């Protein structure tokens, strides 16, 4: 599902959700798959990939999987299990620089 507006999910969803704005997962929301948005706010549960400029895991919220963000906020009683990467971090910059290098000529 690809959107250009805000979205509030307070039920079950399986698949990929993308938005140019904010995606909020309500207390009863359960998402299995990928969540990609400018801002992601999680009160419920997400299992899979969360990708956003700003990701907030609120009290009672739970993320299990991979998280990629420029800014990550985890409130007290919020939980995160998995791998977190910083957008624009040294790892991404290094990977981009290596990808831009031409392959060495074979002798």
**How would residue 88 be classed by pLDDT, with cut points 50, 70 and 90?**
confident
Query: Within a 10 A sphere around the Cβ of 27, how many other Cβ atoms?
Result: 13
User: Which residues are CB-contacts of 74 (< 8 A; sequence separation ≥ 6)?
Assistant: 56, 57, 80
CB of 25 closer than 8 Å to CB of 43: yes
Average pLDDT, the chain: 87
Give the Cα separation of 33 and 16 in Å (integer). 6
Structure confidence at residue 89 (pLDDT): 63
Q: pLDDT tens digits, residue range 48-78?
A: 999 999 999 999 999 999 999 999 999 999 9
End-to-end CA distance of the chain: 49
What is the average pLDDT across 18-35?
Answer: 97
pTM of the predicted structure, to 2 decimals:
0.80
Higher local confidence (pLDDT), 88 or 92: 88
User: Which residues are CB-contacts of 53 (< 8 A; sequence separation ≥ 6)?
Assistant: 38, 39, 69, 70, 71, 87
Structure confidence at residue 96 (pLDDT): 41
| pLDDT exceeds 80 at position 107 | no
Give the Cα separation of 95 and 48 in Å (integer). 23
């Amino acid at each position: 599902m690809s959107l250009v507006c805000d979205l509030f999910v307070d039920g079950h969803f399986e698949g990929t959700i993308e938005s140019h704005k904010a995606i909020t997962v309500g207390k009863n929301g359960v998402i299995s798959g990928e969540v990609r948005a400018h801002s992601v706010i999680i009160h419920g549960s997400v299992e899979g990939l969360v990708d956003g400029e700003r990701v907030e895991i609120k009290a009672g919220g739970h993320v299990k999987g991979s998280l990629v963000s420029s800014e990550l906020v985890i409130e007290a009683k919020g939980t995160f299990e998995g791998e977190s990467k910083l957008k624009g971090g040294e790892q991404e910059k290094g990977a981009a620089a290596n990808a831009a290098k031409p392959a060495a000529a074979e002798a």
